[in-house]
Amino acid sequence: MELVIVKMKVPEGCNIILGQSHFIKTVEDVYEALAGSAPGIRFGLAFCESSGECLVRVDGNDEALKKAAAENALALGCGHSFNVLLRDAYPINVLAHLKAVPEVCHIVAATANPLEVIVAETEQGRGIMGVVDGQRPKGVEDERGVKWRKDFLRKIGYKT
């Protein structure tokens, strides 16, 4: 077994969601879940088929994001994995919808941070071992940090 690190490409102003699922129907069901989750959402999704033709299956409503998601999927190369690139919406707007898709086994990451995926490669194929999402903490928040966090969440409408 060999461990490799795959850097996912996240276009400026986008978020990425990385997950695993179990069936080719994932592409259509994830599309429907995303399209119905937030008004104005733009997205591209790509799914790595792990049997049959073993193709990257792609869909979405934004051509540039579809292309970028397909490139991420090819670089990752892990069977039954999928990645979604979001614009004009955030993971918090869509995660409950994605988790309700019957084919989705779990979500590995949802972030706008730089994302590295730790991949194990064997004779059979590749699998996701984990992720590195963003950077290490630089300390613990103080009262000023708590105030900033609470004010920020209210400013963007996620808390009242």
DSSP letters spanning 71-125: HHHHHH--TTEEEEEEESS-HHHHHHHHHTSTTEEEEEEEESS-EEEEEEE-SS-
Q: Collapsing DSSP states into helix, strand and coil, what is residue 25?
A: coil
**Exposed / middle / buried, residue 78 (Cβ in 10 Å: 0-12, 13-18, 19+):** buried
Helix (H) or strand (E) holding 138: none
Domains of the chain and CATH, by start? 2-155 (3.40.1520.10)
Q: Is the pLDDT reported for residue 12 higher than 90?
A: yes
Report the share of the chain in percent with pLDDT over 70. 100
> Which one, of 111, 131, 125, 130, lies nearest residue 49 by Cα?
125
Cα–Cα dist 132/51, whole Å = 28
Q: Collapsing DSSP states into helix, strand and coil, what is residue 49?
A: coil
Q: Is the pLDDT reported for residue 107 higher than 90?
A: yes
* Exposure string over 23-48, b if 16+ CB within 10 A, otherwise e: ebebbebbbebbeebbeebbbbbbbb
Q: Is the pLDDT reported for residue 156 higher than 90?
A: no
Give 3's pLDDT tier (boundaries 50, 70, 90): very high
Question: What six digits make up the tokens of 104?
Answer: 């989705």
Cα–Cα dist 50/47, whole Å = 9
pLDDT at 158: 84
pTM above 0.85, yes or no: yes
